[in-house]
C-alpha cells in the first residue's frame, strides 16, 4: 500500500489520462453561480477531488476507490470526508488493518498534528483490539520523540492504555522522558495520569510516599520548574490535611526559600499551606523576612500577608493577583 512519501502529487499521472478511470465522469465542485471569494485550486487538487466526488456519490467501494482516497489525502490530509470514506472502503474490502497502520504512519510523518489521522488510527486500533497495543504505544513513542508535547499523541496514548492496556512500563517511560527533560510538563501530566489510573499501582495513596520523594528531588534540582510543584499538590488531591501534615512538603518550601534563588513557587505553596491551617515555625518567618527587599516599609507581622507582599515584589507580572490574594486573607486577631 502506498505511504505518504510515495506518489507525490506532482509525480502522479493525471486521472483523466488513465485508462482505468475512463468510465468515471468527474463531478466538479459547486460553489454557486457567483462565489464571493473563488479559491484558486491547484490543477492536481481540483482533478483529484472531482474524481473523488464521483466515486463518493456512487458509493464505489473498490480497490481503485481506496487508491483514490490515498491521492485525495496526499493533496489534503485534513479532509474528514475522504478519511471517512476510506474507512468504509477498508471495511468493504476486508483490508489488512496492520498494513493500514503502516500507511497511517507514513502519512503522519509530515502531519503529526492532523486530527483526522489520529481519529483514523484510533478506529483501526479499536478494530484490532489488544493485538494493536504494543504497536500503538511504539507509534506514539516515536511521535513524542520528535515532539514531546504533541497533544494528539498523548491523547491517543492515554486512550490506548485505558482501552487496550499496556500499563506495565508506562511509569518508567514517563521517568525517562523527565530524565531527558524535567521541564516537560506533558510528561509530568502523563505521570499523574499513570499513578491515578493504572490498575497495577494500587491508587494514589499507595504510591504517594515514593512519588513525593521523587518530586521533591526534582524541585530541589530546579525550583523554577513549575511542573513538579503542581504535581506535588496533585499528589494530595482531596486530602488537604495530609498535604499540610507531610513534613516533606513544608521541608521543600523552606529548603528552597533558604538556599535557592527562585522563590516564587515555594512562596506560593507556603501561602496555600498557611491558608489551610499550616502552623509555620520561626524558620519560615526568618526565611520570608530575608527575602523582603524594601527598606521603605516594614513587612506585615501576619506571615501569610508577608508572603503576599514578598510575592508582589518578586513576581511583578502577577502583582495584581498577589495583591488580590492578600486582600482576601482574614484579618489577624
Which residues are identified as catalytic? 113
CA–CA gap between residue 163 and residue 192 (Å, rounded): 18
Cell of 232: 506535588
Residue 119 C-alpha from the chain's centroid = 15
297: which 3 cell numbers?
516599609
Query: For 306-312, which contacts have Cβ atoms below 8 Å and span 24 or more sequence positions?
Result: 307/267, 307/270, 307/271, 307/274, 308/271, 310/263, 310/267, 311/264, 311/267, 311/268, 311/271
Long-range contacts of 265-270 (CB under 8 A, 24+ apart): 265/223, 265/224, 265/226, 265/229, 266/223, 266/229, 267/291, 267/307, 267/310, 267/311, 267/314, 268/229, 268/311, 269/229, 269/232, 269/233, 270/307
Nearest one of 249, 277, 290, 229 to 306, comparing CA atoms: 290
Amino acid at each position: 500500500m502506498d505511504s505518504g512519501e510515495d506518489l507525490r502529487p506532482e509525480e502522479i499521472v493525471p486521472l483523466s489520462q488513465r485508462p482505468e478511470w475512463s468510465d468515471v465522469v468527474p463531478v466538479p465542485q459547486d460553489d454557486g453561480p457567483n462565489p464571493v471569494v473563488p479559491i484558486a485550486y491547484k490543477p492536481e487538487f481540483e482533478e483529484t477531488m472531482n474524481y473523488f466526488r464521483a466515486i463518493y456519490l456512487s458509493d464505489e467501494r473498490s480497490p481503485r476507490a481506496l487508491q483514490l482516497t490515498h491521492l485525495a489525502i496526499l493533496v489534503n490530509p485534513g479532509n474528514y470526508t475522504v478519511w471517512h470514506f476510506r474507512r468504509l472502503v477498508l471495511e468493504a474490502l476486508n483490508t489488512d488493518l496492520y498494513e493500514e497502520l503502516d500507511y497511517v504512519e507514513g502519512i503522519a510523518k509530515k502531519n503529526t498534528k492532523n486530527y483526522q489521522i489520529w481519529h483514523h488510527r484510533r478506529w483501526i486500533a479499536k478494530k484490532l483490539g489488544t493485538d494493536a497495543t504494543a504497536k500503538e504505544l511504539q507509534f506514539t513513542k516515536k511521535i513524542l520523540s520528535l515532539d514531546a508535547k504533541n497533544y494528539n499523541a498523548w491523547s491517543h496514548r492515554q486512550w490506548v492504555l485505558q482501552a487496550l492496556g499496556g500499563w506495565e512500563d508506562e511509569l518508567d517511560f514517563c521517568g525517562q522522558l523527565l530524565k531527558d527533560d524535567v521541564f516537560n510538563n506533558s510528561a509530568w501530566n502523563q505521570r499523574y495520569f499513570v499513578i491515578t489510573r493504572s490498575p497495577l499501582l494500587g491508587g494514589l495513596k499507595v504510591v504517594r510516599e515514593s512519588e513525593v520523594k521523587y518530586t521533591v528531588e526534582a524541585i530541589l534540582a530546579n525550583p523554577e520548574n513549575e511542573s513538579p510543584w503542581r504535581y506535588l499538590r496533585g499528589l494530595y488531591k482531596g486530602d488537604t490535611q495530609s498535604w499540610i501534615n507531610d513534613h516533606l512538603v513544608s521541608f521543600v518550601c523552606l529548603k528552597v526559600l533558604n538556599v535557592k534563588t527562585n522563590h516564587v513557587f515555594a512562596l506560593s505553596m507556603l501561602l496555600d499551606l498557611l491558608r489551610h491551617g499550616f502552623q509555620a515555625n520561626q524558620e519560615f518567618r526568618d526565611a520570608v523576612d530575608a527575602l523582603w527587599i524594601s527598606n521603605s516599609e516594614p513587612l506585615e507581622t501576619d506571615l501569610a500577608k508577608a508572603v503576599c507582599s514578598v510575592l508582589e515584589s518578586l513576581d511583578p507580572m502577577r502583582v495584581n493577583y498577589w495583591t488580590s490574594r492578600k486582600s482576601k486573607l482574614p484579618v489577624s486577631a
